[in-house]
């Protein structure tokens, strides 16, 4: 293991030393220099230190995109804490599981999510002085006022504003091999798994993204990915700031605003997931702007139909599709010159990732043969938080087993055929049917249920639930399913369609033959 005393927190610190007046982030049209960003990070780090943060402590964040999100992230890194971004689309019980699973010591949350936290607060293993409240600063909905800081939390601004702007020294030296972050990804067994990402892996991902995009400090990156997402934090924000770029950031995604930002800030690199690109194209704004400044377009996150590539190409935007997982982000990218020639491919392995196809016995397969996509290299996660047995099955002798089936052609380009696991991607988000099925089995009218991902024009894929009712002849509507799930699991995980069944196809060991369901229903469109 590496033992170099270095951490991700050096990124803003070094840029602040070299060019403090260079614009690091333009957030909601307000510029923040590297010097100003670094000062905010230092103030936050002094606050965390004063509140007792020590190396290895977990810091959870439930926040919309904002400067403070990045302040907390980099400050935690400087002190050797482990940063845990939480998906704000999750509901109280889902948040409770992740917060307690990582044994968080701190929780930072925006006013928008006070209700979700208050619902489960008494079941969270966090000391009372470690809840920190922030105002999201966004436009207010007429007639709806966001809550003030509750008496069981403290306000972020009051805690950090008067702190020292010098670089704080960690109590214990932070090594490049130490854990930087835990990012939760849903599990096939129903419970989310926390992928542990180190400082070292993150630096190598920065190098990989820089290699893909030929990044320079002169670049202006346009992206509206949520920072809680591994793509938003580790494929967009951290690499952009590492390269000394200027990053244009918004609280959330708006297709019109995204397109307008390209022209307004003369964006040179633009990044969006497939579902986002679909919405941007449908908005019509790309036909109203000057996008000649753009030299690199990055996309992916799910299956991308050919018309997306074609629609962007007609506007001079040539999208390079990538492939990765939370466990190994941005492991592949399509070279720009081969977008049309290799349509349908997910590209070639990055400079710091080695990828090949294996059969079930671990034998490397030649070009054209279908097997599991496996990878190794310094960008692979350290493992799953507190799940040694699952880690050993996923990373075997340093090789990550992705669970995706694919093949490689004679020129070394990779193609995904299917997912060995049941996971599907809806709007760029991973959805694991087992998690949803487990909840639906508690529905009084449902005896058995199986969920698969099916094609969808808007979201790429959505869930389709196959239901056997408790009583013969009963019907369970999609509305009833949504009503049952709405307080139990995030909306993007809800199945969009339901099919009543009298029986499900089963294997000899009584497992549902989902491949059979996918063959019959998977290609159906809405």
Q: Which of 326, 313, 265 is nearest to 26 (CA)?
A: 265
Better-scored residue on pLDDT, 3 or 426? 426
Evaluate whether 153 touches 401 at the Cβ level (below 8 Å): no
Residues 114-141: what's their mean pLDDT?
90
Query: 424-521: which CATH architecture?
Result: 2-Layer Sandwich (3.30)
* One-character DSSP codes across 119-176: HHGGGS---GGGEEEE----PPPTT--PPPPPTTSEEHHHHHTTS--SPPPPSSPPPT
Burial class (CB in 10 A: 0-12, 13-18, 19+), 108: buried
The answer to whether 84 and 61 have CB atoms below 8 angstroms apart is yes
Side-chain-facing half-sphere of 447: CA atoms under 13 Å: 13
Among residues 189, 141, 133, 124, which one has the least CA distance to residue 157?
133
What pLDDT is stored for residue 1 in this prediction?
47
What the block records as the tokens of 386 is 């507190």
pLDDT for 287 equals 95
d(CA 373, CA 407): 8
For residues 377-398, give the mean pLDDT: 96
The answer, yes or no, to whether residue 406 has pLDDT greater than 70, is yes
Q: What residue segments make up the domains of the chain, in order of their start?
A: 1-198, 424-521
Model confidence at 420: pLDDT above 80 = no
Q: Is 4 helix (H, G, I), strand (E, B) or coil?
A: coil
What's the Cα-to-Cα distance from 209 to each of 27, 206, 247, rounded to whole Å? 22, 5, 14
pLDDT at 520 over 80: yes
In CATH, the architecture of 1-198 is 3-Layer(aba) Sandwich (3.40)
Residue 30: CB atoms within 10 A of its CB come to: 8
Percent of the chain whose predicted confidence (pLDDT) is above 90: 75
Count of CB atoms situated within 10 Å of the CB of 519: 10
Give the pLDDT mean for 45-63. Answer: 97
Q: What is the pLDDT of residues 438-496, one digit of tens each?
A: 899 889 999 889 999 998 888 989 999 999 998 988 999 999 999 999 999 999 999 99
**Could you tell me the pLDDT band of residue 516, with boundaries at 50, 70 and 90?**
confident
According to DSSP, residue 231 is labeled I
Residue 403: Cβ within 10 Å count: 17
Cβ burial 308-335 (10 Å sphere, 16+ → b, else e): bbebbeeeebbbbbbbbbbbbbbbbbbe
Summarised one tens digit per residue, pLDDT across range 100-127 is 999 999 999 999 999 999 999 999 999 8
The mean pLDDT of 345-373, rounded to a whole number, is: 95
463 vs 458: CA distance, rounded Å: 13
Say what percent of the chain tops pLDDT 70: 95
- How far is the C-alpha of 351 from the C-alpha of 354, rounded, in Å? 8
- Name the one residue in this structure whose structure tokens are 């692979």: 380
What is the arithmetic mean of pLDDT over 409-423?
84
Residues 461, 426: contact at Cβ < 8 Å? yes
Give the residue from 162, 116, 112 showing the smallest Cα distance to 137: 112
How high is the pLDDT of residue 386?
97
**pLDDT of residue 526 exceeding 60:** no
Q: Residue 170: what pLDDT? A: 81
Helix, strand, coil proportions of the chain in percent (round to 5)? 30, 25, 40
Confidence (pLDDT) at 484:
95
Residue 509 pLDDT exceeds 70: no
pLDDT band at 431 (very low <50, low <70, confident <90, very high): confident
pLDDT: which is higher, 300 or 90? 90
- The pLDDT of 360-384, averaged and rounded, is 95
Q: Average model confidence (pLDDT) for the chain?
A: 92
pLDDT band with cut points at 50, 70 and 90 for residue 188: very low
pLDDT at residue 416, rounded to an integer: 85
User: Which comes out higher in pLDDT, residue 157 or 416?
Assistant: 157
Single pTM value for the model: 0.88
- The CA distance from 348 to 70, in Å, is 31
* Section 371-391 average pLDDT: 96
């Amino acid at each position: 293991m590496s033992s170099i005393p270095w951490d991700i927190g050096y990124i803003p610190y070094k840029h602040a030393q070299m060019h403090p007046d260079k614009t690091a982030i333009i957030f909601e049209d307000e510029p923040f220099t590297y010097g100003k960003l670094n000062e905010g990070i230092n103030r936050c780090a002094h606050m965390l230190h004063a509140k007792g943060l020590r190396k290895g402590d977990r810091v959870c964040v439930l926040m919309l995109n904002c400067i403070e999100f990045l302040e907390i992230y980099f400050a935690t890194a400087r002190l050797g804490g482990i940063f845990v971004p939480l998906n704000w689309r999750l509901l109280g019980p889902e948040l409770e599981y992740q917060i307690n699973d990582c044994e968080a010591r701190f929780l930072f949350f925006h006013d928008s999510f006070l209700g979700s936290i208050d619902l489960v607060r008494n079941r969270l293993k966090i000391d009372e002085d470690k809840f920190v409240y922030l105002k999201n600063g966004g436009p207010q909905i007429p007639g709806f006022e966001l809550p003030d800081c509750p008496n069981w939390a403290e306000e972020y601004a009051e805690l950090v504003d008067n702190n020292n702007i010098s670089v704080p020294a960690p109590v214990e030296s932070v090594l490049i091999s130490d854990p930087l972050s835990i990012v939760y990804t849903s599990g096939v067994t129903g419970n989310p798994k926390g992928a542990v990402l180190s400082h070292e892996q993150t630096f190598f991902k920065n190098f990989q993204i820089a290699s893909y995009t030929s990044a320079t400090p002169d670049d202006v990156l346009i992206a509206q990915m949520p920072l809680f997402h591994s793509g938003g934090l580790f494929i967009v924000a951290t690499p952009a700031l590492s390269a000394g770029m200027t990053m244009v950031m918004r609280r959330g995604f708006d297709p019109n605003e995204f397109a307008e930002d390209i022209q307004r800030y003369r964006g040179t690199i633009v990044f969006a997931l497939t579902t986002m690109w679909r919405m941007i194209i449908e908005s019509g704004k790309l036909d109203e702007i000057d996008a000649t400044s753009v030299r690199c377009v990055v996309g992916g996150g799910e299956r991308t139909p050919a018309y997306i590539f074609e629609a962007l190409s007609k506007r001079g935007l040539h999208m390079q599709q990538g492939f990765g997982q939370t466990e190994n982000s941005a492991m592949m990218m399509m070279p720009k010159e081969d977008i049309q020639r290799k349509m349908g491919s997910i590209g070639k392995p990055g400079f710091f990732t080695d990828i090949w196809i294996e059969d079930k016995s671990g034998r490397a397969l030649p070009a054209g043969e279908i097997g599991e996509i496996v990878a190794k290299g310094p960008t692979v996660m350290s493992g799953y938080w507190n799940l040694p047995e699952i880690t050993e099955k996923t990373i075997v002798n340093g090789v990550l087993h992705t669970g995706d089936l694919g093949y490689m052609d004679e020129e070394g380009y990779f193609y995904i055929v299917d997912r060995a696991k049941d996971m599907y991607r809806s709007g760029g988000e991973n959805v694991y049917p087992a998690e949803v099925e487990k909840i639906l089995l508690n529905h009084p009218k449902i005896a058995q249920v199986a969920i698969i991902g099916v094609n969808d024009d808007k979201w790429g894929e959505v869930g389709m639930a196959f239901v056997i009712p408790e009583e013969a002849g009963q019907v369970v509507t999609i509305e009833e399913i949504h009503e049952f799930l709405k307080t139990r699991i995030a909306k993007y995980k809800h199945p969009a369609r339901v099919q009543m069944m009298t029986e499900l196809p089963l294997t000899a060991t009584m497992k549902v033959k989902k491949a059979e369901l996918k063959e019959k229903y998977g290609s159906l469109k809405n």
